[in-house]
């Protein structure tokens, strides 16, 4: 039986090998957990968001990041707006549209109509006042756009608030995977050291080994010859 004592050379070697295997398991399960979280984020974005929420997501990410930077110049954003006239001043007032106010226009196949220059086609829902209705590119400070996206489009939720649920599988997968991997590793090595699985260069159980060998000779495959006496004349 191999030594289990960590103060012996063999024990330290076994401990180092075990640590390397555990590190490999950890990397594998982290990658699996991250892949599952990314997949969950994709499904949430693809099927859990409303039309404008999906369209504005890249701009929301950019505004969220740049809102923490000390930038003084405005950035360019493209939003769907409606223009109404102010009855008091007679001036036009511009408002950004939300998903509650618009609906995408679909073709005969059910796909949203799209133009490379104009973007996707939307229409205002009945009862929404407007004078003009169009896509507009405007320079705006990142902090102001972040607040508008968060409050008007994403229901007062930050990026973390939108995607935190997608990262819930990560610690669960990591904990369960590491527990199962370490337990299986210890079991396999314990059986290996006890000689329950190792038979030559193949891993076989004792009954499987006996069944395959049967009455055949076993060894290392080097022919042996008996000693023959020879008489020499001198």
Mean pLDDT lowest among 111-115, 140-144, 167-171: 111-115
- What 89-96 contacts at long range (C-beta under 8 Å, 24+ apart), as own/partner pairs, is 92/131, 92/132, 94/136, 96/148, 96/152
Q: What's the mean pLDDT in 69-78?
A: 90
Alpha carbon separation from 147 to 5, 55, 94, 139 (Å, rounded): 61, 17, 17, 15
Global confidence as pTM: 0.67
The helix (H) or strand (E) run that includes residue 110 is none
State yes or no: pLDDT of 116 exceeds 90.
no
**In percent, how much of the chain has pLDDT > 90?**
41
Q: Kindly state the percentage of the chain with pLDDT values over 70.
A: 78
pLDDT in tens, 28-39: 999 999 999 999
Tokens of 67: 């809102």
Count CA atoms closer than 13 A to 27's CA, side-chain side: 5
- Each residue's pLDDT tens digit, 145-154: 999 999 999 9
Q: What are phi and psi of 127, to 5 degrees?
A: 90, 0
Tokens of 83: 């223009």
pLDDT band at 125 (very low <50, low <70, confident <90, very high): very high
Q: Is the pLDDT of residue 95 over 50?
A: yes
- Where does residue 63 rank: exposed (0-12), middle (13-18), buried (19+ CB within 10 A)? buried
Res 92: pLDDT: 87
Query: 101, 124 in Cβ contact below 8 A?
Result: yes
- Report d(CA 140, CA 96) in Å as an integer: 13
Question: Tens of pLDDT along 151-201?
Answer: 999 999 998 889 989 999 999 999 999 999 999 888 887 766 655 444 445
Q: In the prediction, which pLDDT does 1 show?
A: 45
Give the model's pLDDT for residue 190.
73
**193 three-class SS:** helix
Residue 234 has pLDDT above 70, yes or no: no
- In the predicted model, what is the mean pLDDT of residues 1-27? 74
């Amino acid at each position: 039986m191999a030594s289990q004592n960590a103060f012996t050379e063999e024990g330290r070697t076994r401990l180092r090998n075990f640590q390397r295997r555990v590190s490999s398991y950890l990397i594998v399960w982290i990658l699996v957990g991250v892949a599952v979280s990314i997949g969950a984020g994709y499904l949430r974005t693809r099927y859990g968001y409303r039309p404008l929420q999906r369209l504005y997501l890249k701009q929301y990410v950019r505004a969220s990041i740049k809102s923490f930077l000390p930038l003084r110049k405005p950035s360019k954003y493209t939003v769907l707006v409606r223009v109404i006239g102010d009855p008091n001043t007679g001036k036009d007032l511009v408002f950004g549209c939300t998903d509650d106010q618009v609906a995408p226009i679909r073709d005969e196949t059910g796909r949203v109509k799209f133009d490379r220059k104009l973007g996707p086609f939307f229409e205002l829902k009945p009862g929404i006042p407007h004078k003009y209705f169009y896509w507009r590119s405007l320079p705006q400070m990142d902090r102001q756009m972040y607040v508008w996206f968060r409050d008007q489009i994403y229901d007062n939720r930050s990026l973390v608030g939108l995607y935190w649920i997608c990262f819930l599988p990560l610690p669960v997968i990591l904990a369960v995977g590491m527990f199962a991997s370490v337990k299986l590793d210890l079991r396999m090595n314990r059986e290996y050291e006890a000689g329950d699985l190792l038979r030559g260069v193949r891993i076989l159980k004792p009954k499987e080994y006996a069944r395959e060998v049967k009455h055949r000779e076993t060894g290392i495959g080097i022919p042996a010859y008996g000693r023959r006496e020879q008489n020499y004349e001198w």
